[in-house]
Chain A
Amino acid sequence: MRRVRNGAMHLVVAAVAALTLLPFVFVLNNSFRTNSEIYHSFFGLPNALKDMAQAGGAALRGRETAFPVDAGNGDIIAAAPDEALARFGAIAVKGYRMAWRVIRPYMLNTFFVCAVTVLGVGLLGSMSAYVLSRYRFPGSKAVFIYIVSTMMFPGVLTLVPSFLLVKQLGLLNTYWAMILPYIAGGQVFATFVFKSFFDGLPEDLFESARIDGAGHFQIYVNLVVPLSKPVLAVVMIMNILSTWNNFLWPFITNIDGRHHVIASGLYVLATSPHASNMSTLFAAYMASSVPLLLLFIYATKPFIQGVTSGAFKA
Chain B
Amino acid sequence: MTRPRPALIGHRARFTLSCYGLLLVPLALLTLFVYVPVMWAFTKSLFQFEVGGASRFIGLDNYVEFITRDPTTIPSFLNMLFLTLFAVCTRLSIPLILAKLIHALASERARYFYRVLFLIPVLVPGVAVQLIWAGMIYRDRGMLNEALRAVGLDTLVTGWLSDPSTALVAVAFVGFPFVGGFEVLIYYAGLSSIPQSVTEAAAIEGCVGLQKFFRIDIPMVLSQLKLILILTIIGGVQGFQGIFIMTRGGPGFKTTVPGLWMYFNAFSFQRMGYACAIGVCLFAVIFGLTILNMRYFKSTEELVGRR
Are both chains from one complex? yes
- Residue ranges of A at the interface with B (Cβ–Cβ < 8 Å): 2, 6, 9-10, 12-13, 16-17, 19-24, 26-27, 42-43, 124-125, 127-128, 131-132, 134-140, 143, 146-147, 150-162, 164-165, 180-181, 183-185, 187-188, 191, 203, 206-207, 210, 216, 220, 238, 241, 244-245, 247-248, 262-263, 266-267, 270, 285, 288-289, 292-293, 296-297, 300, 303-304, 307-308, 310, 312-314
Q: Is the CB of B22 within 8 A of A300?
A: no
B189 contacts A136, CB within 8 Å?
no
Q: Is the interface of A mostly helix, strand, loop or mixed?
A: helix
Given contacts A248-B241, A288-B125, A160 and B41 within 8 Å (CB-CB):
yes
B296 CB-CB contact with A under 8 Å: no
Given A266-B125, A308-B192, 13 more A-B residue pairs with CB atoms under 8 Å apart are A6-B106, A124-B25, A140-B19, A146-B27, A150-B35, A150-B38, A152-B287, A155-B238, A159-B266, A184-B34, A187-B26, A244-B125, A304-B189
- The CA of A293 and the CA of B287, in the complex, are separated in Å by 36
Q: Which of B108-164 contact A (CB under 8 A)?
A: 110, 112, 114-129, 131-133, 136-137, 141, 143, 146
Residues in B with CB closer than 8 Å to A125 are 26
Most chain A C-beta atoms within 10 Å of own C-beta, residue among B32, B119, B287: B119
* Cα separation A311 to B284 with both chains bound (whole Å): 28
Partner of B176, one of A19, A26, A187: A19
B193: CB under 8 A from chain A?
Answer: yes
**B 246-262 binary contact with A (CB < 8 Å = 1; else 0):** 00000000000001001
How long is the Cα–Cα vector from A180 to B237 in the complex, in angstroms? Answer: 25
Q: Could you tell me if A162 and B37 are in contact, using CB atoms closer than 8 angstroms?
A: yes
B207 → A minimal CB distance (Å): 17
In the complex, whether B203 has a CB less than 8 A from a CB of chain A is no
* Nearest opposing residue in chain A for B107, CB measure: A6
Min C-beta distance of B281 to chain A, whole Å: 9
Do A165 and B36 contact each other (CB < 8 Å), given the known contacts A9-B104, A308-B189?
Answer: yes
The number of residue pairs between A and B whose CB atoms lie closer than 8 Å in the complex comes to 261
Chain B residues with CB below 8 A from A312, complex form:
186, 189-190, 223-224, 227
State in angstroms the CA–CA spacing of A241 and B119 once bound together. 11
**A161 and B240 in contact, given A10-B110, A24-B124, A312-B227 (Cβ under 8 angstroms):** no
The reply to whether A154 and B19 contact each other, CB–CB distance below 8 Å, is no
Q: Does B98 belong to the interface (CB within 8 Å)?
A: yes
Of the residues B23, B35, B182, contact of A128 by C-beta under 8 Å:
B23
Complex Cα distance, B180 from A238, in Å, reads: 14
**Which residue of B30, B40, B188, B301 is within 8 Å of A164 (Cβ)?**
B40
Q: Which of A191, A210, A313 has the most CB of B within 10 A?
A: A313
Question: Across chains A and B, which 5 residue pairs bring their CB atoms closest together, nearest first?
Answer: A157-B279, A307-B189, A313-B223, A161-B37, A184-B33
Interface residues of B: mostly helix, strand, loop or mixed? helix
Residues in B neighbouring A12, C-beta threshold 8 A: 101
Contact A154 B286 (CB under 8 A): yes
The 8 A CB mask of B180-198 against A (1 = contact, 0 = none) is 1010011011101100000
* Chain B residues within CB distance 8 Å of chain A: 1-4, 15-16, 18-20, 22-23, 25-27, 29-30, 32-38, 40-41, 44, 51, 98, 101-102, 104-106, 110, 112, 114-129, 131-133, 136-137, 141, 143, 146, 176-177, 179-180, 182, 185-186, 188-190, 192-193, 223-224, 226-227, 229-230, 234, 237-238, 240-241, 259, 262-263, 266, 272, 275-276, 279-280, 282-283, 286-287, 290, 299-301
Q: Which residues of A contact B15 (CB under 8 A)?
A: 135, 137
In Å, the complex CA distance between A122 and B22 comes to 14
Contacting residues, chain B, for A210 (C-beta < 8 A) = 4
Residues in B neighbouring A244, C-beta threshold 8 A: 125
Q: Whole-angstrom distance between the alpha carbons of A173 and B19 in the complex?
A: 35
